[in-house]
Structure 1
Amino acid sequence: MLSFFRKIRKKLLETSQTFKYIKYAIGEIILVVIGILIALQINNWNEKRKEKLVETNYLERLLSDIKKDTSILSEKIELSNNLSEDYLNYIKNMYVIQKTIKEVSELTTSADFFSGKDNLILSDVAYSELLNSGKLDIISNEHLKTQIVTYYRNYTLVSTKEKGFNEQINQSVEVLIENTPISKYVFNASELFPNNNNMFRESDWEFLNKPSTKEFRNWEECIYTYYTKHRIIVPYYKELKNNAEALIISLKQSLL
C-alpha cells in the first residue's frame, strides 16, 4: 500500500503536476490522520471494555460481600434482642432472695456473658481492595459509588460504637471480678465439684440479697452495661442492614 502511494507521488512530481501533487499530499495526510483516529478509537474502546470487565468483577464481589453482611447483621440483631431480654430478666431476678447455692448458680448462669462481646466485623475485602488500589473511580455510576462509600462509612461508625460499648463492658467486668468472690458460681462450679461443700460459702454470695451493698451495685451495674449495649446497638444494626439491602438492589440493577 505504501509503495503504491510512493509511485503516485513520484509520477506526479516527474510530470510537474504540482497542484495535483499538493492535493494528493493533503489527501494522504487526511487518510493518515483518519487512520490514527480510528486506531485511537479502537484502543479507547478496548480500554473501556477492559475497565468495564474490571468494574463488573468488583461489583459482583461487592454484591457477594454485602449479601454475607445481611446474614451477619440478622444474626447480630437476633442475638442482641435475646441477650438484652435475658439481662433485663437477670436484673429483675437479682431482687429475688437467693436462698441456696443452686439458686445463686441458676441466677448467675441465666444470662450469657460470653456471647455478643465481639466487635462487628463485616465482609469488606472487595471494598478495601478498591480503596487501597485507588480504583474506586472505576465504578461509573456516581450514585452507586456514593451509596457504596456511605455504606462502608456507616459500617465503620457502627463498629467503632460497638467497640466502645465492649470496652465499657470489659472495664465493668474487671471491677466486678476484683470486688466480688462469685466467679465460681458464674461458671457453675457447684456442679463440677458437687461433694466439696467447703468451696461454697454463703458469705461469697450473701451480698446478692443486700441491694444496698457496694458488691450488689457493682454486679447490677455490670449487668446493666451488658443490657445497655445490646439495647442501644440493635437500631444501628437494623439501619446498617437496611442500607445493605438497598445497596444489593442497586448493585443488581447495575449488573443487568
Structure 2
Amino acid sequence: MLRFFRNIRQRLLTDNKFSKYLLYAIGEIVLVVIGILIAISIDNWNQERILKREEQVALQNLKQDFQYNREALQMNITITQKTIESNLQVLNYTGSKPKPDTEEAFNVLINDVTVTSEFFPKNSFLDDLMNSGRLQIIRSAGLREKLSSWKPAFEHIKEEERQTKSYSDPLLNFIIKNGSWLNADEVATTQAIAKYNFPKSGFEVDNRNLLGYLEFENMIENLVIYHERVLSSQKKGLQLIEEILDLINKEIKDE
C-alpha cells in the first residue's frame, strides 16, 4: 500500500502537476491523522474497558467487606444494648432497694455489666485503594465520599470503646476486692468461661452485698453513660455502612 502511494506521488511530480500533488499530500495527511485518531480511540476504549472491569472487581470486594462489617457491627450493637439494659437493671437493686431473690440471678447481671463490645471490621481492601491512590477507579463521587468517611467513623467507634473499657476496668477491680468472681463465673454463659464449670467460692461471700456500696452504684451509672456513647457511635457507623452498600449495589453492573 505504501509503495502504491509512493508511485502515485512520484508520477504526479514527474508530470509537474503540483496542484494535484498538493491535494494528494493533504489527503494523505488527513488519512494519517484519521488513522492516528482511530488508534487513539481504540486505545482509549481498551483502557476504559480495563478500568471498568477493575472498578467492578473493586466494588465486589468492597461489598463483601462491608457486608461483613454490617453483620459484625449489628452484633456489637446487640451486645452494647444488652450491657446497658443489665446496668440499668442493677441500678434498680442498689442501696436500700429490694435485692434480687438469689445471688445466682445477680451474678448473671454481674457478668453482663462488665462486657465491653469490640468492633473489628474488614478494612484491608479499602485501605489498599486509599493508600495506593486508586480510589479514583470508583467513578461515583458520592460513593468515594462515603468510603472516605468510613475510617473516621470506625476510629470514633474504637475510641469510644477504649474509653468505656478504661472506665470498666475499675469496676472489675472493685468486684475483685469486694465480691467473688468465682461465684459470678459459676453462672457465666460465655464459651471461654462456661467450659471450666467453676464451683462456688470457698469464702462466705454473697455478691449481692456489692449493691450496698455507693461507689458501686456510681460506677454502674457512669458505665451506662459510656455505653450509650458507644451505642451512638455504633449506630452512626451502621447507618454509614448501609449508605455505602446501597451506593455500591447501584454501581455494580450485571454481567
The two structures have a TM-score, normalised by structure 2, of 0.80
Structure 2 segments unaligned to the other structure (5+ residues):
188-196
SS in 1 for 2:110: coil
CA RMSD of aligned residues (A): 3.0
CA deviation string 1:106-136 (max 9, x = no partner): 4234332597424322222321121122101
Equivalent residue in structure 2 for 1:183, among 176, 181, 184: 181
Do the aligned partners of residues 91 and 188 (structure 1) sit closer, same or farther apart at CA in structure 2, a change above 3 Å counting? farther
Following superposition, the deviation at residue 30 of structure 1 comes to: 1.6
C-alpha separation between the residues in 1 aligned to 2:6 and 2:85? 91
Rounded to whole Å, the distance in 1 between the matches of 2:39 and 2:47 is 12
In the alignment, which residue of structure 2 is the partner of 1:65?
Answer: 65
CA contact (8 A) 2:143 2:248 kept: yes
Checking the alignment, whether the CA contact within 8 Å between 1:69 and 1:123 is kept in structure 2 is: yes
Alignment partner of 1:208 out of 203, 210, 214 = 210
What is residue 78 of structure 2 aligned with on the other side?
78
Give the letter aligned to residue 236 of structure 2: E
Question: What's 1:50 paired with?
Answer: 50
In 2, Cα distance between equivalents of 1:20 and 1:192:
105
Counterpart code for 1:208: L
Distance 1:111 1:207 in 2: 12
Query: What is the CA distance between 1:182 and its match in structure 2?
Result: 3.4
How many residue pairs get aligned? The number is 243
State the distance in 1 between where 2:198 and 2:49 align: 67
Give 1:70 shift.
2.1
Letter in 2 for 1:72: A
- The one-letter code sitting in structure 2 at the alignment partner of 1:200 is F
Take 2:166 and 2:224, find their aligned partners in 1: how far apart are those partners? 14
- Structure 1 consecutive aligned stretches of length 4 or more whose deviation exceeds 4 Å: 96-99, 102-106, 113-116, 191-194, 204-207
Per-residue deviation at 1:208?
3.0
Matches within 5 A, 1:68-107: 68-95=68-95, 103-104=102-103, 106-107=105-106
Matched residue type, 1:4: F
- 2:31 alignment partner, SS class: helix
- How many angstroms apart in 2 are the aligned matches of 1:116 and 1:58? 36
* 2:245 is the counterpart of 1:243: no
Percent identity over paired residues? 24
- Indicate how the Cα distance of structure 1 residues 210 and 76 shifts in structure 2: closer, same or farther if over 3 A, else same: closer
Partners of 1:205 and 1:165 lie apart in 2 by 23
Equivalences for residues 120-135 of structure 1 within 5 A = 120-135=119-134
